[in-house]
Structure 1
């Protein structure tokens, strides 16, 4: 009889030739437990999803309670469904007053697709400005605004009319004109290796978009819900977007995304043609119930308030000659090494010793640190100790070789 791992390799579509092949049976808090009962500290939150950790009791109860009532009833936007209404109401209550209309989707990539369509429909323009190093998802529209040619070239032709500019480079803002429908920017760039914009640049970007009638889209799919030390990362810059993109931690572990805009902008999807954006499962009632419970826990337990302190702790503990730089805000950090080869060996050693971390899609020589916000000081100290041991063990034996993007 084939093992579960063999069946996974035989029947589940693979995205690389070298999956991690870790087999987990349960997860609780910051830990995931494999088939032999070994505990692993999840230091990446399932790539920004599990802000509350795994199996939060209030989120689990909300899922069970809603599943007992009803699950899918109809394509999105037709029926008045309590979980969708209450979740949208709660989201709007913690956002700036202009961001008052929520369109729920299945994922972050679908939120990107909906936002790009909305911007083109509302403005009547076709050109888009995106950023070098950007990651917004893998669907065709999202791929079109990705700022890494290596990951795009095999799938062309993609959307036309897209200009790419560099983060924090003021002169290139002149490429935003009266023909630009939207600018799409990760409020903090994730897969580029956690690149944080300058506050002055963000203000200048907002001003340029306002001058030209261009919609400013902030992608907070990775950065939102306390991860950076603010509920939303744009709060660090005192700049408000025209459209906000959310997913990952939005669902408390369940799959849901959203694009959020002023009511008058969102109304453009209602006509010429009607049903301007359609999703069957977007805003699934069980996912919305989970998302509402997760947001309430985040707010009630003030989890965001401890994030800056935990960031400082990590920066204090991770000091080593092999670490070139630590970038980021809050619990959204990149630890940079000389090469991918060294980074990968350190990551593999960490995983072997029970700490799950990862590298970045567009910055393979940096290690990702983005644990659940609930991680305790003791748990964080343990994870940092394992990282430091891994660095020591590999820098004593590894000759640093030229970087490559993949093994």
Structure 2
């Protein structure tokens, strides 16, 4: 093991020397994965309950992803956006169905969640007619790190070094009362996350999305739901807004849609589908046949294997399991489906995440008081049992 440890240290030193200093030193140098497990260059196995931050919906090295990627790479990887491909068209049609947008819906493809948000920002600007100039977003929200997405993000500390922000965005409290006070005919769009993942998996108040739908329709504003982290079955529905029985004007999608292959999408509904005009937006790589083919195969498998329902069932089991440990360090368990937040007492969330890693369990502490748990949608009994044992040990170390 000494040689392997030295190899990992060497990789870490190379990382420090070669990569931009936008992130800290890597916690691990990972080499391969299978299902809900990954292995580092030291040969140690870890239970992955972060899944690339809700990205690896089918886990690692899933045969459906491997086959689709290999087949398409041997056929056609990329064409410019002057041309279409069958997989691009089929994926757009499927997203119209899964989102509920129907025949009036349209899809735009990019390469990431941030790109989907940037497209949605432009959509909001196109709704800025008749004196509509304000865009509403929520405090403590996260929509990405590009400049438009950062302007929407309700975290002033993240914005400070990059001011001035793109103008026209007002951040409001995440309450129905604050929304009712802020909404009027000057609002072009409201951006919301159904569950704030980066804030520690914080769901919106009950009834918030339904009230938001009522108010935006009344005032002619767009309701744009950021489902980059909550979408694609993560919460036990294809999209989290479906729990509330509403349809937005637009939804942003990324992360789990292709189980690790970069792709993002903006799907519009009804009148919003006519707002962006030819030349308003574009992406060199967006909608390429490689990423859209893999995304189509991933969505096929999620439907075939009943993984949306699995997320609902396993998520409830996971929350029950965490509460059943009975640790005094756990102050709350929240979330929906396989998007679970755990409140940790005394600001020790990072310490719990560190001790979990020492016991071969990968999860995430987005802030000092919260853990984020977003395992692959293929989660089963064996992985839940392993999680219980390893998480119990980590909490016990405190």
Q: Which residue of 1 aligns with 2:94?
A: 90
Q: Which residue of 1 aligns with 2:247?
A: 240
- How many Å apart are 1:264 and its aligned residue? 4.5
SS at 2:368 equivalent: strand
Contact kept, 8 Å, 1:170 with 1:201, in 2: the verdict is no
Q: Which residue of 2 aligns with 1:382?
A: 386
- How many Å apart are 1:185 and its aligned residue? 0.3
Contact kept, 8 Å, 1:134 with 1:192, in 2: the verdict is yes
- How many Å apart are 1:386 and its aligned residue? 1.0
Contact kept, 8 Å, 1:107 with 1:255, in 2: the verdict is yes
SS at 1:147 equivalent: coil
Q: Which residue of 1 aligns with 2:194?
A: 187
The structure 2 residue matched to 1:311, chosen from 315, 329, 338, is: 315
**Counterparts of 1:209 and 1:153 in 2: how far apart (Å)?**
30
Q: Which residue of 1 aligns with 2:121?
A: 116
**Counterparts of 2:101 and 2:158 in 1: how far apart (Å)?**
37
SS at 2:237 equivalent: coil
Q: CA RMSD in A?
A: 1.7
Matches within 5 A, 1:69-88: 69-74=75-80, 76=81, 78-88=82-92
* Post-superposition CA distance 1:82-134 (Å, at most 9, x none): 22111111221222145620000111001101111012113433210000110
Residue 113 and residue 392 in structure 1: after superposition, are their counterparts in 2 closer, same or farther (change >3 A)? same
SS at 1:208 equivalent: helix
Q: Which residue of 2 aligns with 1:146?
A: 153
2:229 is the alignment partner of 1:225: no
2:18 is the alignment partner of 1:14: no
**Counterparts of 1:176 and 1:48 in 2: how far apart (Å)?**
32
The structure 2 residue matched to 1:200, chosen from 207, 217, 220, is: 207
Contact kept, 8 Å, 2:139 with 2:173, in 1: the verdict is yes
Q: Which runs of 5+ in 1 are unaligned?
A: 395-407
The structure 2 residue matched to 1:23, chosen from 19, 29, 44, is: 29
* Post-superposition CA distance 1:212-239 (Å, at most 9, x none): 0000000000001111111111111111
Q: Which residue of 2 aligns with 1:398?
A: none
The structure 2 residue matched to 1:103, chosen from 99, 108, 115, is: 108
* Post-superposition CA distance 1:167-194 (Å, at most 9, x none): 2332432312211110000121111111
Residue 309 and residue 73 in structure 1: after superposition, are their counterparts in 2 closer, same or farther (change >3 A)? closer
* Post-superposition CA distance 1:53-73 (Å, at most 9, x none): 111111111111111111222
- How many Å apart are 1:196 and its aligned residue? 1.4
SS at 2:330 equivalent: coil
Contact kept, 8 Å, 1:118 with 1:266, in 2: the verdict is no
Give the aligned length. Answer: 385
Q: Which residue of 2 aligns with 1:326?
A: 333
Larger mean Cα displacement after TM superposition, 275-284 or 312-321:
312-321
**Counterparts of 1:69 and 1:288 in 2: how far apart (Å)?**
13
Q: Which runs of 5+ in 2 are unaligned?
A: 1-6
Q: Which residue of 1 aligns with 2:4?
A: none
Q: What TM-score results when the alignment is normalised by the length of structure 2?
A: 0.93
